[in-house]
Structure 1
Amino acid sequence: MADERAALASDSSQAASSKKVAPLIAIAALAIVGLVAWRVFYAGPSTPSSIVELTGRVEGDDSAVAAKVAGRILEIRVREGDDVKAGDVIAVLDDRQVQSRHDQAQAALTAAEARTASARAQVAVLAEQLKQTQLSFDQSENDSHGRVAQAEADLSAAEADRTQQEASLKLALFDKDAYTRLVTTGAVSERQGRLSISTADQQEAAVASANRRVEAARAALTTAKASLSNPGIRQSQVAAVRQQLIQQQAEIATSVASAEQARFQLAEADANRQDLTVVAPFAGTVITRAAEPGEVIPAGTPIVTLLDLAKVYLRGFVPEGDIGRVKIGQAAHVYLDSNAAQALDAYVSRIDPQATFTPENTYFRDDRVRQVVGVKLQLKGGFGYAKPGMPSEGEVLVSGDTWPKRRGHR
């Protein structure tokens, strides 16, 4: 009996030991399976020969938006991070100085045109006077009385015209005073006030021209009467009138040139007025705001910096030994660290002409001694979430037309 009990106890001990070992074996088997799975799914195979990999970060080309003219900033309508469309207003500058130059140019143009009109009227008068004087010189003494009668008729006509011009001037001055008061009270616009002033100025020039015609007619009458007694005087009078005519023609040329200069200044002021509104040259995102309302800036001073997020790219580096396989225009994929599973279509848009040492921000010292070449992968779209500064990975399809399946990304 004792031997049987000992045998039973030994069998029971062996069974218990077997039960303890079995779970350990199962755990070890699971660990081996897990290690194999990790190596298959995470360690993965080496990079396919048709692919060249690179790492870097997303970058973009920015553009400074500046005012074409100097001035004080009235308002800036965007802030950093704002998205804008092409043509959106970025900033508005004070227009008081430009308006002042515009008004000065307008006044100069009005004055030059008035001088031109007056000189042309005087030329017409002098031309007629020269004609009459020359005719008086050529005609015989018997026609002197007829010339006197004609000169008297011309004088009467000139005086009648002057009376009419003076009446028109009185009306223009009345309107000028009335509009000036109405502008002060705000009943009419400043433009209407300036128009009434311009009309009065032109009418004053017309009266002055009429006075000169009267004087010319009176002088012609005097000449005609003088010819009755001394025909020799008429010859010197012809020369004097001809000289006056030449002077008035020169005055026309001068006033016409002044008018052209004033028109140019007026057009320049109008163009500068348009330039006071600074607009976005393209759609993009405001990344910096370099000025604030109230600042006085010279022409060309950047106000904001825009970045076109639809034209961002991955800037990375390829080892010198692989760069010979990379060509401009090859298809590429970019993977953002924020969404490494999604491939963004891209292409090789630039390869640096010279190699360089691995950038200093490489994490492993041994890698920093390698020669690399900078490569730019241009994304075919901004996709709305590719932002400058994002760490990213890229791969270039250097052979074949089909992308191989790889770990992690696909």
Structure 2
Amino acid sequence: MTVAGSGGSGDALSKLRIRRDEPVRGGGWLGRFVRLLVTVVVLALLGGAAWIFSRSPGMLADANRLMESVRTKLEVRVVLASVEEGRSADATVVATGYLQSRQQARIGARATGRIEAVLVEEGVRVAANDVLAILEHADLDASLAAAKASAARCRSELLEQDVLIARTQRDLQRAEKLLAGRTMTQAEFDTEKFEYDAAVARRESLQAALQLAEARVQEAEQLRENMFVRAPFAGTVISKDAELGESIMPGGMGEASGRGSVVTIADLEHLEVDCDVKEDFISRVQQGQAAEVAVDAVPGRRYRGRVRKVIPMGDRARATVKVRVALEDADERLFPEMSSTVYFLPADAVVGDGVAAGGGQETKVVAGRRIFCPNDALQTMGGDVWVWVVGAEDRLKRVVVQVGEKKEGRTEIVNGLAGGERLVAGSSAEYRDGLAVKVLQ
């Protein structure tokens, strides 16, 4: 039996095979033309961009800045190159701190009440015992009046009792004469004597009642006095903490419990700097030592200071010891909480108008200008010493410097810096000229 059409099926299968050596339909001259055109356009765009950047270097720089802004900037901590003049340049120790008044207090009431009047404003000078504020006290006025009336009644009763005593005393004297003349019985005489003794005893009771009434008057007066907030010492009002109509109570911590103080006063005539000195250098600071104080808010002025106290307690976490330096020539430009720098002078330093701190002969002050920078800003390699200066647009610049004397964590810069520059503290292999960085605040 013969299978019909077997040869026809083989021909059909052969027609389905893909011939890779045959060109793809539609891939003729038109496809090649399109591919060529795309290539020419791309090359033209790249060439045009290169020509524009070559003709405009600023655009190339802007493109570089744009790329840098996209990249994450290095974070750096900066320190300042300080300029020191006069004797402060010879300081053995330098420390920073804040001004504070020798006496400063938040003044509140000694009793709970609502403010009836505030009699002072910020900046007003007050004397000791001046009234700063008054609390409502109408009820205490009434209590005081009642106590005074009760005391007055006791005095009146005491006077009446004195009259009664005088009368019974005379009756007793007559009874004694009658008893001596046998014209009065002993029983009648005893009655007169008992009346006199009772009157005297009654006076003692009334005297005690008067003392009690007078004590209640004093108590009422003190309660009323507690409604007057007075200044405990002479000073200046630096803060007004409460207003008319607010409630106030001793130890108040907020709106829920009432305010704790009405005003804050400080003695601005006796200011001192509370500063921290590193443990490594505390041996160079002694009580009574002369110092110069620079206040950031008063540039160009150095105040005379003297170490008032070295607090005998160290700070374990910061490895410092607290030192208080009293200002001897404070003026009206100084206020508490101002940032200050203390320069502890050597024993023979000159302070003020030329008197040596050690008590020796007067010496002329020689003015000088020296530049110092913290040691952690200095970079060294071989014989070269340089610093990284953070300049305009927060970009780094490598500046070679010449160094001089080293003291207390800082080094004098003899050449290379003008003072006031921002210097990078620490080092990194990534630092280079022109690198944009982020300055940590």
Distance 1:43 1:298 in 2: 50
CA deviations 1:33-62 (Å, max 9, x no partner) are: xxxxxxx99699998555321122223342
The alignment partner of 2:196 has SS state of helix
**Residue 136 (structure 2) aligns with:** 94
In the TM superposition, residue 334 of structure 1 has moved relative to its aligned partner by 0.8
Structure 1 unaligned blocks of 5 or more = 1-39, 142-230, 360-370
Moved more, 69-78 or 237-246: 69-78
CA deviations 1:100-159 (Å, max 9, x no partner) are: 233222222222122222222222222222333343344256xxxxxxxxxxxxxxxxxx
Distance 1:273 1:306 in 2: 23
Moved more, 234-243 or 300-309: 300-309
Does 1:55 pair with 2:6?
A: no
Contact 1:134 1:238 in 2 (8 A): yes
CA separation of 1:276 and 1:241: change in aligned 2, threshold 3 A: same
In the TM superposition, residue 84 of structure 1 has moved relative to its aligned partner by 2.0
TM (normalized to structure 2)?
0.53
Greater RCO (Cα-Cα under 8 Å, separation 6 or more): 1
Where in structure 2 are the equivalents of 1:325-364 lying within 5 Å?
A: 325-356=284-315, 359=318
The alignment partner of 1:63 has SS state of strand
**Residue 108 (structure 2) aligns with:** 66
* AA in 2 matched with 1:119: Q
* AA in 1 matched with 2:283: G
Distance 1:135 1:44 in 2: 105
**Residue 348 (structure 2) aligns with:** 400
**Residue 6 (structure 1) aligns with:** none
Distance 1:117 1:394 in 2: 72
Does 1:111 pair with 2:153?
A: yes
In the TM superposition, residue 270 of structure 1 has moved relative to its aligned partner by 4.3
* AA in 1 matched with 2:340: S
The alignment partner of 2:321 has SS state of strand
The alignment partner of 1:350 has SS state of strand
**Residue 243 (structure 1) aligns with:** 194
CA separation of 1:261 and 1:340: change in aligned 2, threshold 3 A: same
Query: Aligned Cα RMSD in Å?
Result: 3.4
Does 1:302 pair with 2:261?
A: yes
CA separation of 1:134 and 1:310: change in aligned 2, threshold 3 A: closer
**Quick one: which of 289, 292, 305 aligns to 2:240?**
289
Where in structure 2 are the equivalents of 1:6-405 lying within 5 Å?
A: 51-60=92-101, 61-79=103-121, 81-87=122-128, 88-139=130-181, 234-270=185-221, 272-274=223-225, 276-298=227-249, 302-356=261-315, 359=318, 371-402=319-350, 405=367
Distance 1:120 1:299 in 2: 47
Distance 2:182 2:222 in 1: 63
The alignment partner of 1:340 has SS state of coil
Q: As a proportion of its length, which structure holds more helix?
A: 1
Distance 1:123 1:44 in 2: 89
* AA in 2 matched with 1:278: V
* AA in 2 matched with 1:407: R
The alignment partner of 1:91 has SS state of strand
Moved more, 274-283 or 124-133: 274-283
**Residue 355 (structure 2) aligns with:** none
* AA in 2 matched with 1:53: V
Distance 1:241 1:338 in 2: 89
TM (normalized to structure 1)?
0.56
Number of residue pairs the alignment of both structures matches: 267
In the TM superposition, residue 373 of structure 1 has moved relative to its aligned partner by 2.4
Q: Percent identity at matched positions? A: 24
Distance 2:95 2:86 in 1: 17
Distance 1:44 1:280 in 2: 41
CA separation of 1:318 and 1:66: change in aligned 2, threshold 3 A: same
Distance 2:247 2:241 in 1: 13
Q: As a proportion of its length, which structure holds more strand?
A: 2
In the TM superposition, residue 315 of structure 1 has moved relative to its aligned partner by 2.1
